[in-house]
C-alpha cells in the first residue's frame, strides 16, 4: 500500500499538471469506489470545476476544487496517472489481461481504470486500481478536513516535534511498538515499509511492548520515522509491487531499504541474517543483533 512518501511524491508530481486546470468531463466506471455520494451525480458535480490545490493528509490525497473537494485513497494497488494530451501510451498495457503485470508509463483507459477526469486541452487524470481497494469521496468546499476518515488521523510525522509526540505514547500499553506506529490515529502516514525501516534505524525490536520504551528510545524512534520518510520522498517512493508515479515511472527507494523486504539477507550494519516475523498481522523484518 502506498505510504506517506509515495503519496507525497504523487502529490508533488500532480501540482503542476493539475493546478488551475478545469474539469471538462468526468467518468466513474466503478461506482462502488465512491463513498457517501450518488455515483449518478458524480460527473455532473465535477464538470466545470477548477483544481485549486493538491493536498496530502496522511495517506490520502485531496483535490481542492472551486466548489468541492475530491478525496482519493489509493488502497493496495491504486495509481494516479497524469496523462498529457500528447503523451505516448505504453502499448504493454493493451496486453494486460489480469492486471497483475506491472508495466510502466502513461496507460490507455483499460478495464482497471475506474475514474477518468478530462481536463483542459485534452489532458487527463486517470485512476487505475486492479484490486479495487481504493476509495473516492466528494465533499462540499473544504470540508475534507472534517471527513470521518481524515478527522481521526494523528499528526503529520514530518511536521511533528518528536518531544511533543513522545508524550502521547500510551504509558501502560502492552501493544507491540510496531503496532503503534501503524496506528493512523497515533501518527498519520506510516505503514509497513517505513515502520520496519524506522525501528531498524532506532535499534528497537518491533515486538517490544510500548510500555517498556524509555524516553530516549521514544525520541530516537520518532526521529528515525522522520528520517526514513524524508529519505523515501527524496527517492520518490518505494516501488515494491504496484506503486507508480503519475508519469508511470517507479520510485527509487527500494534498493536503499535496510530492513523491509530483506528477510534472510545479511544486515547491512552488522552482517547478521535478518529475520522475518509477524507483528500486528503484518510481515516484519528485523535484525536480532541490532534490534535486541
DSSP per-residue letters across 214-280: -HHHHHHHHHHHHHHHHHHHHTT---SSS---TTSPPPS-GGG-SSTT-TTSBPTTT-PBPEEEEET
Does residue 254 sit in the same domain as residue 166? yes
Q: Residue 44: which CATH number? A: 3.20.190.10
> Looking at residues 77-82, what average pLDDT do you find?
94
- Check if 95 is active-site: no
C-alpha cell at 34: 465512491
Q: Is residue 169 part of a domain?
A: yes
The predicted model gives 61-80 an average pLDDT of 97
Active site residue 130: no
Residues 194 and 233 reside in one and the same domain: yes
For position 197, which CATH number holds? 1.10.8.50
pLDDT, average across residues 26-55: 97
If one counts the domains in the chain, the total is: 2
- pLDDT beyond 80 at 91: no
Q: Is residue 243 part of a domain?
A: yes
Residue at which a domain ends, from 151, 180, 196: 151
Q: How much is the pLDDT for 101?
A: 59
Residue 95's pLDDT band (cuts 50, 70, 90): low
Would 261 be classed as within a structural domain? yes
Note whether 127 and 29 are within 8 A (CB).
Answer: no
Could you tell me if 126 and 171 lie in one domain? no
Mean pLDDT of 61-81: 97
- Between CA 166 and CA 162 the distance in angstroms is 6
Find the range with the poorest average confidence among 87-91, 142-146, 153-157, 239-243: 87-91
Is the domain of 166 the same as that of 130?
Answer: no
CA 115 from chain centre, in angstroms, equals 18
Domain range for residue 236?
162-286
Q: C-alpha distances in angstroms, 43 versus 48, 70, 128, 141, 220?
A: 10, 12, 17, 17, 48
In a domain, residue 292? The reply is: no
Mean pLDDT value across the chain: 94
pLDDT (tens digit per residue) in 148-169: 999 999 999 999 899 999 999 9
> Is the domain of 41 the same as that of 174?
no
Task: Tell me the average pLDDT across 30-43.
Answer: 97
Among 151, 183, 203, the domain boundary falls at 151
For 204-227, the pLDDT digits (tens) are: 999 999 999 999 999 999 999 999
Residue 14 lies in a domain: yes
- The answer to whether residue 157 is domain-embedded is no
Express each pLDDT in 191-201 by its tens digit: 999 999 999 99
Confidence check: pLDDT of 16 > 60? yes
Asked if 284 contacts 206 with a C-beta cutoff of 8 angstroms, the reply is: yes
| Per-residue DSSP letter, 184 | T
Phi (first) and psi of residue 80, to 5 degrees: -105, 120
Is 282 assigned a catalytic role? yes
Pair (252, 173) in one structural domain: yes
Q: 181 and 269, same structural domain?
A: yes
Angstrom CA distances, 8 to 74, 183, 238, stand at 12, 19, 12
Which candidate in 45, 56, 57, 59 is catalytic? 59
Out of 3, 6, 64, 197, the active site residue is 3
Higher pLDDT, 51 or 102: 51
Band (pLDDT 50/70/90 cuts) for residue 240 is confident
Q: Considering the domain boundaries, does residue 156 fall inside one?
A: no
Among 4-13, 47-56, 89-98, the range scoring the smallest mean pLDDT is 89-98
Q: Do 145 and 174 lie in a common domain?
A: no
- Nearest to residue 291, comparing CAs of 270, 111, 34? 270
pTM of the model: 0.94
Q: Is 163 a catalytic residue?
A: no
Cα(119)–Cα(13) distance, integer angstroms? 16
Model confidence at 94: pLDDT above 70: no
Q: What is the pLDDT of residue 146?
A: 97
**Which pLDDT value is given to residue 258?**
98
β-pair partners for 50 = 22
What's the chain's Rg over C-alpha atoms?
Answer: 20
Single out the residue of 117, 141, 93, 113 nearest to residue 25, CA to CA.
117
Amino acid at each position: 500500500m502506498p505510504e506517506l512518501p509515495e503519496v507525497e511524491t504523487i502529490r508533488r508530481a500532480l501540482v503542476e499538471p493539475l493546478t488551475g486546470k478545469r474539469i471538462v468531463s468526468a467518468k466513474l466506471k466503478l461506482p462502488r469506489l465512491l463513498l457517501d455520494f450518488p455515483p449518478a451525480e458524480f460527473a455532473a458535480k465535477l464538470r466545470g470545476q477548477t483544481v485549486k490545490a493538491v493536498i496530502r493528509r496522511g495517506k490520502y490525497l485531496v483535490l481542492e476544487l472551486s466548489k468541492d473537494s475530491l478525496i482519493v485513497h489509493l488502497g493496495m494497488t491504486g495509481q494516479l496517472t497524469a496523462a498529457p494530451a500528447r503523451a505516448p501510451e505504453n502499448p504493454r498495457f493493451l496486453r494486460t489481461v489480469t492486471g497483475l503485470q506491472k508495466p510502466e508509463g502513461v496507460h490507455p483507459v483499460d478495464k482497471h481504470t475506474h475514474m477518468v477526469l478530462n481536463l483542459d486541452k485534452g489532458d487527463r487524470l486517470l485512476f487505475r486500481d486492479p484490486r479495487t481497494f481504493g476509495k473516492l469521496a466528494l465533499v462540499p468546499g473544504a470540508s475534507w478536513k472534517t471527513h470521518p476518515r481524515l478527522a481521526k488521523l494523528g499528526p503529520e510525522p514530518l511536521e511533528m516535534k518528536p518531544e511533543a509526540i513522545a508524550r502521547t505514547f500510551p504509558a501502560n500499553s502492552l501493544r507491540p511498538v510496531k503496532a503503534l506506529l501503524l496506528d493512523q490515529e497515533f501518527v498519520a502516514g506510516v505503514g509497513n515499509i517505513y515502520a520496519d525501516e524506522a525501528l531498524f534505524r532506532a535499534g528497537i525490536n518491533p515486538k517490544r511492548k510500548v510500555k517498556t520504551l524509555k524516553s530516549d528510545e521514544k525520541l530516537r524512534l520518532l526521529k528515525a520515522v522522520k528520517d526514513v520518510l524524508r529519505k523515501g520522498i527524496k527517492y520518490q517512493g518505494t516501488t515494491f509491487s504496484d506503486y507508480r508515479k503519475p508519469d508511470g515511472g517507479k520510485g527509487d527507494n527500494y534498493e536503499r531499504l535496510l530492513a523491509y523486504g530483506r528477510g534472510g539477507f545479511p544486515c547491512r550494519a552488522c552482517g547478521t541474517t535478518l529475520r522475518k516475523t509477524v507483528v500486528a498481522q503484518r510481515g516484519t523484518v528485523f535484525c536480532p543483533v541490532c534490534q535486541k
